[in-house]
Chain A
Amino acid sequence: MEFMDLKVLPLDPKDQGSQRCRLGPKAMAALGLNIGSPVRISLPRGECVCTAWPRGDLADGFLQFDSKCISEELAGKTFKNLAVNLKQIKKAVFTKLHHVKVIVVVKTVEFKRSTPSTLLHEIVKDMLHNVYVSANHIISLASVETPVELVKLQKLSPSTDDVGLITRKTTVKVTEVRTTESYKYQLENSWKIPLGGLDDVFASLVEILSLPFRYPRTLQKLGLACPKGVLLIGPPGVGKTLVVKSVTREVGAHLLTVSGPVILGSRPGESEENLRGVFKRAKDLSEEGPCVLFIDELDSVCPRRTESTNAPENRLVAQLLTLMDGMGSAGSFVVMAATNRPDSLDPALRRPGRFDREVIIGVPTLKQRISILEVLSSQMPVCGDVDLISLAEMTTGFVGADLTALCREAALQAILHSSQVTGSPEINMKHFHEALKRVYPSCLRSSVGLTDFKPITWEHIGGLEDVKLKLKQSIEWPMKFPEAFIRFGLTRPKGVLLYGPPGCAKTTLVKAAASSSHCSFLSVSGADLYSPYVGDSEKTLAQVFQQARACAPSVLFLDEIDSILGSRADVKAGRGVQDRVLSVILNELDGIGLKVTERRKTGCKIIQQESLTEKQEGNQQIEYQEVCNKDVLVVAATNRPDLLDDALLRPGRLDKIIYVPPPDREARLAILRICTEKMPLDPEVCLERLADVTGFFSGADLENFCKEAALLTLQEEGLDASFIKHGFFLKALQTIKPSLTVQQVEFYKTLLKKMK
């Protein structure tokens, strides 16, 4: 009997609002209950206060209860498929209350405005008559169908932990009247959103919001108009919307979100009407407390008026402008908007008085990525070997949304792998590496320059040791030893030009450099840029540069740069595409500065040594890295450096010019070793001798030469041959001629002297 489970059934309509709970007679007897005595039913996550009544059919094993008085956590919940044990029902001892303080929640703002407080007081008192209550519970009065939706008990006197009864003699004090909307909103949005890497933006937004919301009178005294609008600018996925949500919760404001498509209507004038309605609603809400009207994707609502000939759109923009002007500084009501295309906004919006402040959120830097990853991984069972710092280093160009995707993918990997092994899944570094292969930074997703290539290590390239060293110096060192670079006042070179005869591993060198450093790697060739439209090529190139900057540190590789650019010195009639593309590159490499909207990390600080000494060593390293690696390294390759424009080759643009020479004897030997690594060679094959006789062979030639020898073996000795004999190499040598000539080598040698 004691452990009897009661099945919860839906309430009878006639019991609606009666605060009854229907029990079987046996259950009532077991609990020692009389008719109408108050009970407390503890439910998952909350509690409900009822009066006990027998069921009409006197059947046992069921429970029906009216959720008139429930604890706040249960508000709006329905109780389905629930079983309540008899132990969860307790007989309550009630005290008659003398005073209660309540918050009244009404349905509409109109009712709140028009009803005098005495009447409201009377109604509430009437409705609470003979109700059993408990502190911090809410009394739902919806069943009476009056404008009063519910009442929240704040304070009972005499205070009791158990149940109190409101009688005719109880005085009821209404401390606050609110609308259902704002009450529900607050109930749902009380928990905070964790935010990583946006601390400075967050703090500045809180400051903007909390001034008018918390100290309106001080501002009035100073004769200041509060800021009314804040515009958030940043690429997609950096967390503009999230930061707004989090800030509004921080300052306890009501967030009213509006998106473009919701406002736009089909009838003429409908969109404007919707917009006015939204502003009116925000104004109504702001009477209850601070309110933030958030317009997401503002560019879709407010495009430039001069560019579009679309009259309805222009009217909508004009409506928004007038509404923002007419807001008045009195209300505690701020408009926030977010966009990722600030250039396409109407310029009239971006002036003080409308959007007073513009906050630019850039692609997260290394430090920001670390803190985002920390926030994300705090919710996940992460194994001890996961190094968030190295993970952040690897994820250049990732925005918050990408990092979220990365973590999700890693978690998915962990789940998939752990399904065979028992135990709870734990995410380790391997899973993150696996996930990194699948998740690409979203700012590069639509880029023409994004290339997928097989990673190559430096060891795959034979010879060319000094070239490798120079490349490492300009690409890898700033990443690995930033503090040394800072100490010597060095900066990364802006550009590197590799030149040399064809087939001498220029492209392969760049690949190796890209895969050894964890940079974003973009590659652009002439074909990507070619377009039949005037100005299109330049635009594409500028866009590639912009994207490369967004996910810096990055390497932008321009292969066969001579075909893309050419030289301005060549006498040609008119200005060709190549001239204009060249001017884009010159400007991007060493222009005046960046566009404002491309700024990352507001208020870039110059590192002060004093402050740094206090910080940890690792932290310092990260700071150095941030300073050192915020640029794009342009790597160009050509075999006709003489055709390039002189302006391109001066220091500050392509400042490091590296000659990739044809392989000498040693290099040829190294290349042959690498090429024949996977081939079964006869022991009599002497690679040294082969290296001797393959003068003027380029790297590509040598690779081809080895292949030819292997093919010859298969041809002559049948398909089951086991070794490549030396003779076949010599035979192959007869058919294959070196691609380099004496003149070519001489040409490059003189060029090298000239450049030096």
Chain B
Amino acid sequence: MSQEPTLSVLNALKNCFRVIERQQHNWSNNLAECTSLIISLGNLGEQLQSCNKVDFKGTPLQDFPQLKQRLTYKLNQALGVVLGKLADKLSALQVVRDSISNQVVSVFQLYENNSEKISLSASLRRLAVIPSLADMLEWLQDIDRFYRNQYLKRKLMLQMVSPENMSYIVELPKLWKALERQQEHNLTQETLMKIAFFMDSS
């Protein structure tokens, strides 16, 4: 049994993990921006809600003509701007997801092509510095799935935003945070730790 196929898969894995490491930064940067945008979205939603509720007649502001309509218009416009920005960020997240996904698919493709030549025992062998092939493939798949699900959930969350459902917009920052908290034991970070020695080895 030759070592070559194993080596080529290992190399591909190394490349892939490097891409993931890079994209992970992208992802978290984008996500941080998203979070601030979401908070301002929630803020605007709250303002709009209270604007609809309040009666300006009894306040010093009653002298301003059509204040309510103007305010609503302004706020709605601001909402639109924020949503537009969010859509941009979301597409950036999608880019991250797609590039990771592509990498993962190509690694799997390579493994499948060589699977005849790599024996099961070889792919299960764990060394001190190199985790087994099976483990690493598993981690890759997990990471891929993680990004997919995260992206999908966030996208759905933003899709549900509609002018009729103002209370949902107000709730949105909380929901968004809850999603982030799930992510707290960061899968990607952990995985990258596990393969640190492997990445360092030449």
| Chain A contact residues, CB within 8 Å of chain B | 14, 17-18, 25, 28-29, 33-37, 53-54, 56, 58, 114-115, 119, 123, 126-127, 129-130, 144-147
Closest to A116 in B: B159
Contacts A53-B134, A58-B124 aside, 11 further interface pairs with beta carbons under 8 A come to A18-B142, A25-B120, A28-B120, A33-B120, A35-B120, A36-B137, A54-B134, A114-B162, A123-B155, A129-B148, A146-B156
Q: Is A35 touching B134 in the complex (CB atoms < 8 A)? A: yes
Q: Is B153 touching A144 in the complex (CB atoms < 8 A)? A: yes
Closest to B156 in A: A146
Q: Is B145 touching A18 in the complex (CB atoms < 8 A)? A: yes
Q: Is A18 touching B141 in the complex (CB atoms < 8 A)? A: yes
Closest to B123 in A: A35
Closest to B97 in A: A126
A14-B142, A34-B115 in contact; A147/B121 too (CB < 8 A)?
no
**Pairs A–B under 8 Å by Cβ, sample size 28:** A14-B142, A18-B145, A25-B124, A28-B120, A29-B120, A29-B121, A33-B120, A34-B120, A34-B123, A35-B111, A35-B120, A35-B123, A35-B133, A35-B137, A36-B108, A36-B137, A53-B138, A54-B124, A115-B159, A123-B152, A127-B152, A129-B148, A130-B105, A144-B149, A144-B152, A145-B153, A146-B153, A146-B156
Write the nearest CB–CB distance from A75 to chain B, whole angstroms: 22
Question: Could you say which residues of chain B place their CB within 8 Å of the CB of A34?
Answer: 112, 115, 120, 123
Closest to B144 in A: A130
Closest to A53 in B: B138
Question: Could you say which residues of chain B place their CB within 8 Å of the CB of A54?
Answer: 120, 124, 134
Question: Could you say which residues of chain A place their CB within 8 Å of the CB of B145?
Answer: 17-18
Q: Is A25 touching B121 in the complex (CB atoms < 8 A)? A: yes
| Complex A-B, nearest 7 residue pairs according to Cβ-Cβ distance, in ascending order | A34-B115, A35-B134, A54-B134, A144-B149, A29-B120, A25-B124, A35-B137
Write the nearest CB–CB distance from B136 to chain A, whole angstroms: 10
Write the nearest CB–CB distance from A668 to chain B, whole angstroms: 99
Question: Could you say which residues of chain A place their CB within 8 Å of the CB of B155?
Answer: 123
Question: Could you say which residues of chain B place their CB within 8 Å of the CB of A25?
Answer: 120-121, 124
Question: Could you say which residues of chain B place their CB within 8 Å of the CB of A36?
Answer: 108, 111-112, 137, 141
C-alpha gap A711/B155 in the complex (Å): 103
Q: Which residues of B in the span 71-127 have a Cβ within 8 Å of any Cβ on A?
A: 105, 108, 111-112, 115, 120-121, 123-124
Indicate with 1 or 0, residue by residue over B28-51, a CB within 8 angstroms of chain A CB atoms. Answer: 000000000000000000000000
Write the nearest CB–CB distance from B12 to chain A, whole angstroms: 14
Question: Could you say which residues of chain B place their CB within 8 Å of the CB of A114?
Answer: 160, 162
Residues of B contacting A: mostly: helix
C-alpha gap A130/B152 in the complex (Å): 15
Closest to B165 in A: A114
Question: Could you say which residues of chain A place their CB within 8 Å of the CB of B121?
Answer: 25, 29
C-alpha gap A596/B44 in the complex (Å): 68
C-alpha gap A129/B102 in the complex (Å): 12
Question: Could you say which residues of chain A place their CB within 8 Å of the CB of B105?
Answer: 130
Q: Is B152 touching A126 in the complex (CB atoms < 8 A)? A: yes
Q: Which residues of B in the span 131-179 have a Cβ within 8 Å of any Cβ on A?
A: 133-135, 137-138, 141-142, 145, 148-149, 152-153, 155-156, 159-160, 162
C-alpha gap A18/B141 in the complex (Å): 9
Closest to B133 in A: A35
- Which among A18, A35, A54, A119 has the highest number of chain B CB atoms within 10 Å? A35
Write the nearest CB–CB distance from B200 to chain A, whole angstroms: 24
Contact of B156 among A33, A123, A129, A130 (CB under 8 A): A123
C-alpha gap A233/B133 in the complex (Å): 71
C-alpha gap A58/B137 in the complex (Å): 15
Write the nearest CB–CB distance from A491 to chain B, whole angstroms: 73
Write the nearest CB–CB distance from B152 to chain A, whole angstroms: 6
Question: Could you say which residues of chain B place their CB within 8 Å of the CB of A33?
Answer: 120
C-alpha gap A115/B161 in the complex (Å): 11
Q: Is B148 touching A126 in the complex (CB atoms < 8 A)? A: yes
Q: Is A119 touching B159 in the complex (CB atoms < 8 A)? A: yes
C-alpha gap A96/B137 in the complex (Å): 21
C-alpha gap A469/B157 in the complex (Å): 89
Question: Could you say which residues of chain A place their CB within 8 Å of the CB of B160?
Answer: 114
Question: Could you say which residues of chain A place their CB within 8 Å of the CB of B149?
Answer: 144
C-alpha gap A461/B141 in the complex (Å): 94
Question: Could you say which residues of chain B place their CB within 8 Å of the CB of A56?
Answer: 135
C-alpha gap A147/B162 in the complex (Å): 17
Question: Could you say which residues of chain A place their CB within 8 Å of the CB of B120?
Answer: 25, 28-29, 33-35, 54
Write the nearest CB–CB distance from A194 to chain B, whole angstroms: 45
Question: Could you say which residues of chain A place their CB within 8 Å of the CB of B112?
Answer: 34, 36
Write the nearest CB–CB distance from A150 to chain B, whole angstroms: 15
- Which among B115, B141, B142 has the highest number of chain A CB atoms within 10 Å? B141
C-alpha gap A145/B152 in the complex (Å): 10
Closest to B108 in A: A36
Q: Is A146 touching B123 in the complex (CB atoms < 8 A)? A: no
- Which among A58, A127, A130 has the highest number of chain B CB atoms within 10 Å? A130
Write the nearest CB–CB distance from B9 to chain A, whole angstroms: 11
Question: Could you say which residues of chain A place their CB within 8 Å of the CB of B111?
Answer: 35-36
C-alpha gap A144/B154 in the complex (Å): 12
Question: Could you say which residues of chain B place their CB within 8 Å of the CB of A115?
Answer: 159
C-alpha gap A119/B162 in the complex (Å): 15
C-alpha gap A146/B133 in the complex (Å): 32
C-alpha gap A115/B134 in the complex (Å): 40
Write the nearest CB–CB distance from A110 to chain B, whole angstroms: 10
C-alpha gap A114/B156 in the complex (Å): 12
Write the nearest CB–CB distance from B125 to chain A, whole angstroms: 10
C-alpha gap A33/B118 in the complex (Å): 12
Write the nearest CB–CB distance from B120 to chain A, whole angstroms: 5
C-alpha gap A35/B124 in the complex (Å): 9
Question: Could you say which residues of chain B place their CB within 8 Å of the CB of A17?
Answer: 145
Closest to A51 in B: B141
Write the nearest CB–CB distance from B77 to chain A, whole angstroms: 24
Closest to A34 in B: B115
Closest to A14 in B: B142
